[in-house]
Structure 1
Amino acid sequence: MPKLTETQTIILSAGAQRPDNLAMPLPAGLHGAAAQKVVSMMIGRGWLEEVDAKTRKGEPLWRETGDGHGTTLVVTDAGLLAIGVEPVVVKTMAAIRTHAAQPPALKPPTQRAGTKQAMLIALLQRPEGASMAEIVEATDWQAHTARGTISGVVKKKLGLVVTSVKEDERGRVYRITPAG
């Protein structure tokens, strides 16, 4: 292994632990001409590479290129080897961290039988649908509660498609329609 300074070791070790092996941000207190000198030497030895920064993903900038883009620093495979880390191990660990950071897959909400919500859905699934008066009578809810449940639970939480049509004899009639 090549002889590394403490600063070089810190930069490479930190980059090995970050997603996509980002060497940025540099250690606290390293900036200006000192940072430029260390980074230039590490790029020259092939331990760091300057790449386009994905600013939309929040990657920290090393420098701006002048055309509205910026670059960041990435630890190369040679840089990983310089600190005694196998690049394959780092890529595997990065994949594990990425997988662990993803939220668990949400299971779709299940409908309990015998509840007022289930009764509301059954009314809305009928071919003739249900008017607000019919919903209020069947559930013993206020009209604003029924409308809120249709909007918040049935549409948003359960993802069902609810349409409403104004009919002359019944008023506004709500129906669950097949998605698609």
Structure 2
Amino acid sequence: MAHLTETQTKILAAASTRPGNLAMPLPKGLHGAAAKKAVGKMIERGLLEEVDADLRRNEPLWRETGDGHGTTLIATEAGLDAIGIEPVVAQAMAGLRKPKPEVVETACPVSVRKGTKQAELIALLQAPEGASIAEITATTGWQPHSVRGAISGQLKKKLGFVVTSEKIEGRGRVYRIDPLEA
């Protein structure tokens, strides 16, 4: 195998998994002069090839050539061979694969600022007796639809709280967050 840099290996490995062995888009963080230098060296060595982009298939552009045309980059047989992938196998696998949406996971917990209405809402819902929509509107000054939106959107979807509700005689629907969960 040829000696490759980490960046070159990433570009070729990604290309081997894409339909048509497309090398675009380049790895995250590789752009500008660094991208031109890396791609230029790979083209010189015969690892990548610059071809006309098929704009009808929305292929990503490497560079524009004018009049609505442009080029894209594909990994060559030599490029795939350099990372230990047989080109015939890579082409067969690329035809079978469908691009998967990128999943972005947030590892850092979201903090709630003290003294905000959202913090008041969370405190009301963490109380053992919970809170009804009427009680929350009286405390926060929000309209009932805003309270329901905050519970559904901010607390459940954005902050990931598990909010339970039950109908209680004389109070109506009461919402709660398990105080241990928060």
Flag structure 2 segments of 5+ consecutive residues without an equivalent: 101-182
Shift of 1:29: 0.8
The equivalent residue for 1:81 is: 81
| 1:85-100 alignment runs, 5 A limit | 85-97=85-97
The equivalent residue for 2:129 is: none
Paired residue type of 2:48: L
| 1:84-163 alignment runs, 5 A limit | 84-97=84-97
The equivalent residue for 1:6 is: 6
Shift of 1:91: 1.4
Flag structure 1 segments of 5+ consecutive residues without an equivalent: 102-180
Distance 1:66 1:96 in 2: 33
| 1:26-105 alignment runs, 5 A limit | 26-97=26-97
Distance 2:27 2:95 in 1: 25
Paired residue type of 1:46: G
Query: Does the CA-based 8 Å contact 2:15-2:24 persist in structure 1?
Result: yes
Distance 1:96 1:65 in 2: 31
The count of residues paired between Structure 1 and Structure 2 equals 99
Shift of 1:28: 0.8
Paired residue type of 2:22: L
Distance 1:4 1:50 in 2: 19
Query: TM-score, normalising length from structure 2?
Result: 0.52
Query: TM-score, normalising length from structure 1?
Result: 0.53
The structure with more radius of gyration: 1
Identity score, percent = 69
What do the CA deviations read for 1:76-113 (whole angstroms, capped 9, x no partner)?
00000000100011112123336xx9xxxxxxxxxxxx
Distance 1:34 1:28 in 2: 12
